[in-house]
Structure 1
Amino acid sequence: MSSTSAGTFRQPKAVWAVAFACVISFMGIGLVDPILPALAEQLDAGHTQVELLFTSYLVVTALAMLVTGWVSSRIGPKRTLVAGLVLIVVFAAAAGAAGGIGGIVGFRAGWGLGNALFIATSLAVIVGSASGGFGGAIVLYETALGIGIATGPVLGGLLGTLSWRGPFFGVSVLMLVALVATAVFVDTTPPPAEKSRLAEPLTALRHRSLRTTSLVGLLYNWGFFTLLGYAPFLMNLSALRLGAVFFAWGLLVALFAVFGATWLKGRFGTARTLYGSLLCIAVILAVIGTFSGSVPTVIAAVIASGAFVGLNNTLVTTAVMSISPVPRNVASATYGFVRFIGGGLAPFVAGLLAAGLNVHVPFWIAAVVVLAGVALLTTVHRDLEQADATASSAAAEEAVTEVPAVEEEAILAEDALRHGVQR
C-alpha cells in the first residue's frame, strides 16, 4: 500500500467529524433509490415526477455551488459547514412530513442548497486539515462518498419498508448527529483576508484544463445518474431488495475509490485508467439499455458498475484538482456546479425519454454521452500526464525526507531489543 493510502486513516478528530458528516450527506444521493417505485405507487406519481427528486436536489446543489466560496470567505469554513448541515436537517425532516410528491420535490431543493454549502466546504476543510497530503485527502473524501452511497440505499430500504417517510426522517436524525460532531470537533477559523468574488467559479471556466475536465465530469455524471435514477424501475424489487442491490453496488464504489484508483493510477496513470473506466461504464449502460427486460442482467450490470463509478469518482476529482490553475476551493465549486448540472438533468430526461419512447433509449443515449466524455478527455491527456509526473516527484521527495526518521526509529528499536536481551 502506498504511503498516501497508509496515512489516509490517521487523521485529526476534526477531519473525522467532517468525514462522518460527508458520509451522511452522500447518503442523501442514494437514499431515495429503494423507495422510488413505492413513491410512484403510493403518491400516484409518474416516473418523470419521481425523478424530479434527483433533479431538484442536484440542480439546486449545482447552482448553489456558485456562491459557496463567497459565503465561506465571509463567515468562515466552520460556520458554512454548520449552516449547510442545519439546512439539510430541516429540509430532510420537512420532506418526510410532506403530503405529496410536489412538497417532497420542493423540500429536496432546499436540501440541495444545504448540501452545496456543506459539500464544497467539506472538501476544502478535509484537504486543508488531513494528514497524508493532497492525495490522501481526496481518497478520504471519496471513501466517505463511497460509504455514504453504499449505506444510503440500505437505510432507505430498511426504513422504506416501514414507510416512504422513514428514510427522510432517518437522514435528518443522522445529520443532526453530524451537526453536533462538527460543532464540537472542528475549530472555528476566521474568514480569509481575501474575500471570494461571486463570479469566480464561472470565470474559472475560462481555463481550458478546468473547463474540459469539468465537462468530462458532467458527461460522466449524466451516465451515472441515469443508471442511479432510472435503473430501480427496471428491477421490480421491493424497497429492501433494492437497498441490498445498491448496497453491493456501493461497496464496490467505496473499495475501488480507495484502493483500486490508487493502484491503477500508479500503474497506468490517471488518463489511461479513466479511459478504460469510462469505456466500461458506457458498455454497462448499453447492456442495461439492450437487456432492460432481463432483471438478473440489470441487477448484475448495476452492481458491476460500482467498481468503475468508484474509479471515476476519485480520478475525475483528482484530475480536476491537480491540473486546475485556480485555487482548489474555486476549482471545487466550479467542478461541482458543472457536474451536478449533468447529474440533475439526466434522471428527469431519462423519465421523459422512457415515457415518450421506451426504456431502452435513456441508457443508450447515456452510453453515447459517456463515450463523448472519453473523447473530450483525450484533449487534456498531456496535462494529466504532467500532473501525474509532478505528483510522483513530490511523493519521491517526501519519501527521501522520511528515510532518516525511519532509520532512526529502526536503530532505536534495535537498541531497545538489545538492552532487553541483556537484562
Structure 2
Amino acid sequence: MGIGLVDPILPAISTELGASPSQTMLLFTSYLFITGLAMFFTSWVSGRIGVKRTLIAGLVLVVIFAALAGASGTVDAIIGFRAGWGLGNALFISTALAAIVGAASGGARQAIVLYEAALGVGLATGPLIGGALGNVSWRGPFFGTAALMAIALVAILILLRKPDTAAAPAPTSLLAGFRALRHPALRALSLVALFYNFGFFVLLAYSPYPMEAAARTAGLEFGASELGLVFFGWGLALAITSVLVAPVLTRTLGLRPVLFSMLGGLTVCLVLLAVFVDSLPGLVTVVVMSGLLLGVMNTALTEAVMEATDLPRNVASSTYSGVRFMGGAVAPAVAGPLAEALGSGAPYLAGAAAVVVAVVVLAFSGRTLAHIGRPHETVVDEAAAISAGDS
C-alpha cells in the first residue's frame, strides 16, 4: 500500500510547497535510486543478520522516514527523507517472500497465494487511500504510510516467532550483486528491465500532472481523490493480470514472445498518452488499460530472470532489481525538464523510445536467452519468481 499512497498527492505538494513538477517528481527519483543501489547489498545483509531482522530494520526505516517526510516543510527535505525510505523499502521487499514461505504452517502454496493476494490488494488500494488522505492534507499519505508500516512492524515482532532457518539465504559476498552482472543472460535481462522501467515510471510518476492540467482546462475538479481512483483502477488491473493472466500466457506462448508482446503494447500506450495528453478521458483510459500490460510484463520479466542463471535466487533477484530501479529513478528526473522544454507529450515519447530500446536489447539477446522458458523445478520456485516481479 505504501508504494502507491504518495502518487495522488504529487500535484498538491507542488501547489502547497511552491515546487515545480520537476522538483516534486524527484520524490520518486531519490526513493528509487537508493532502493536500487541498496538492492545490490540486501542479499549480503539478510545472509548475515537473518530474514526477520532484515524485515524489522527495513520497516523501522520506512516508519521513521515516512513520518519525517510528513512533518517536513520543504520539498527538498521530503526528497531527502524519501531516500531513507527507499533504503528501508529495499531491505523489506528483498526478504518478504522468504520470510512468509519460511514461516508458513499450511504449506508454501497457501502462503504464496496469500502473499499474492496481499500484494494485489495493497497495490490497488494504496492510491485510493492516498487520495482520501490527500484530500485532508498532502501530509496525510506520509503519516498514513508510517502508520501502516508501524502496524506491519508490530505484526512481525509478535507473529513471526519461528522463522525456518532452512529458508534463510546463505551468506554471500558483499559484492556478489555486482559480480552477478558478469552473467550474460542476467546482464541482458537487467538492461531490458532498465529501459522498460524508464517507461513504466514515466507513466506512473508523470501522469498525475497532465491529468490535472487536462481537467483544469475542461473546467473540472480533479484532485487527490480523483487521482487515487484512477491509480486504483491501474493497480487493480496490474494485480489481476500479474497473478491470473501472466502464468497462463507464459505457459502457452513462452516467455520471450510474451515479453515482446507486452513491450510492444506498452510502447503503443505511451505513444497514445502523448497523443491524448490534453484529453482527460483519453489519459485516464490509457493509464488504466496499461496496467493490464504491466502486470503481465512484470511477472514474465522476473520469471525470465529467475530462469536465466544458475546464480542463487536472492543474488540474481537483488541484482536485477537494483538495475531496474535505476531506470525508474532516472525517469521522473528526466520527465519534468522534458515537459518544460518540449511540451507535455514529450516525456511519454521519451518513455516509448526507452521501451523500444528494451525491445532491441531483447531481440539481440536471442542466443543468450535461448534457454529461458523451460518449466520451473518446483511450485515454490515459480511462485517466488512471480512474487518478486510484483514487488
TM over 0.5, yes or no?
Answer: yes
Structure 1 position 143, deviation (Å): 4.9
> What is the CA-CA distance between 1:386 and the residue it aligns to?
3.4
How much does 1:245 deviate?
0.5
> Which secondary structure state, in structure 2, belongs to the residue aligned with residue 161 of structure 1?
helix
Q: Tell me what 1:249 maps to.
A: 234
1:255 Cα deviation after fit? 0.4
1:68 to partner: Cα distance:
1.1
Task: Report the Cα distance in structure 2 between the residues aligned to 1:216 and 1:357, rounded to whole angstroms.
Answer: 26
Task: Confirm whether residue 312 of structure 1 aligns to residue 285 of structure 2.
Answer: no
Which stretch of structure 1 is more off in the superposition, 370-379 or 285-294?
370-379
2:179 to 195, 200, 203: 203
Q: State the match for 2:360 in structure 1.
A: 375
What is the alpha-carbon distance in structure 2 between the residues aligned to residue 277 and residue 127 of structure 1? 30
Offset of 1:382 from its aligned partner?
5.8
Q: Shift in Å at residue 209 of structure 1?
A: 0.7
1:33 aligns with 2:7: yes
Cα 1:194–1:153 shift into 2, 3 Å = closer
Instruction: Give the TM-score of the pair, scaled to structure 1.
Output: 0.81
1:357 equivalent in alignment to 2:377: no
Percent identity at matched positions?
50
Mapping 1:235-246, distance limit 5 Å: 235-236=211-212, 237-246=222-231
Query: 1:174 and 2:148 equivalent?
Result: yes
Q: What does residue 293 of structure 1 align with? A: 278
Contact 2:42 2:91 in 1 (8 A): yes
Whether the 8 Å contact between 2:43 and 2:169 is mirrored in structure 1 is no
In the TM superposition, residue 291 of structure 1 has moved relative to its aligned partner by: 1.9
The 5 A counterparts of 1:2-401 are 27-126=1-100, 131=107, 137=112, 143-186=117-160, 187-188=162-163, 195-236=171-212, 237-381=222-366, 386-391=371-376
1:127 deviation in Å?
5.9
Q: Which of the pair has more CA radius of gyration?
A: 1
Q: 1:282 to 1:141 in 2, by over 3 A?
A: farther
Deviation at residue 299 of structure 1 after TM alignment: 0.7
**TM-score (structure 2 length as normaliser):** 0.88
- The equivalent residue for 2:382 is none
- Any idea what the Cα deviations from partners look like across 1:322-358, whole Å, max 9, x if unmatched? 2122101101110111000000110110011111221
Q: Is the CA contact 1:150–1:249 (under 8 Å) kept in the aligned structure 2?
A: yes
Whether the 8 Å CA contact 1:70–1:195 is kept in 2: the answer is yes
Deviations 1:24-46 (A, max 9, x none): xxx23322211011110111000
* C-alpha deviation, 1:53, in angstroms: 0.5
- For 2:129 and 2:159, the matched residues in 1 are separated by 26
Could you report, residue by residue, the CA deviation over 1:171-191 in whole angstroms, capped at 9, with x for unpaired residues? 111111111222233334669
Q: Secondary structure at the match of 2:19?
A: coil
Whole-angstrom distance in 1 between the partners of 2:378 and 2:63: 41
Helix, strand or coil for the counterpart of 1:386? coil
C-alpha change, 1:309 and 1:145, in structure 2 (3 Å) is: farther
Contact kept, 8 Å, 2:41 with 2:174, in 1: the verdict is yes
Deviates more, 1:222-231 or 1:98-107: 98-107
Aligned residue pair count:
366
Q: Write the letter of the residue equivalent to 2:210.
A: L
Structure 2 CA distance for partners of 1:95 and 1:34, relative to 1, 3 Å: same
For 2:373, what is the secondary structure of its paired residue?
Answer: helix
Maintained 8 Å contact 1:221/1:342? yes
State the one-letter code of the partner of 1:172.
A
| Residue type at the aligned position of 1:316 | L
Question: CA separation of 1:257/1:357 partners in 2, compared to 1, >3 Å: closer, same or farther?
Answer: same
Give the Cα–Cα distance (whole angstroms) in 1 for the partners of residues 97 and 348 of structure 2: 31
Unaligned runs of 5+ in 2: 213-221, 380-391
After TM superposition, give the deviation of residue 385 of structure 1 in Å: 6.0
Q: CA deviation at 1:194?
A: 5.4
Whichever residue aligns with residue 297 of structure 1, its letter is: G
RMSD: 2.2
Q: Which SS does the other structure have where 2:310 is aligned?
A: coil
Counterpart Cα distance in 2 of 1:149 and 1:366? 22
Tell me which amino acid in the other structure corresponds to 1:363: Y
Aligned to 2:216: none
Deviation at 1:146, TM superposition (A): 3.6
CA contact (8 A) 1:56 1:106 kept: yes
The structure-2 alpha-carbon separation of the partners of 1:344 and 1:172, relative to structure 1 and needing over 3 Å to count, comes to same
- Taking a change above 3 Å as real, the CA distance of residues 47 and 269 of structure 1, as seen in their structure-2 partners, is same
Q: Distance in 2 between matches of 1:132 and 1:319?
A: 21
Q: Say if 1:312 and 1:193 are closer, same or farther in 2 by CA, change over 3 A.
A: closer
Rounded to whole Å, the distance in 1 between the matches of 2:193 and 2:127 is 23
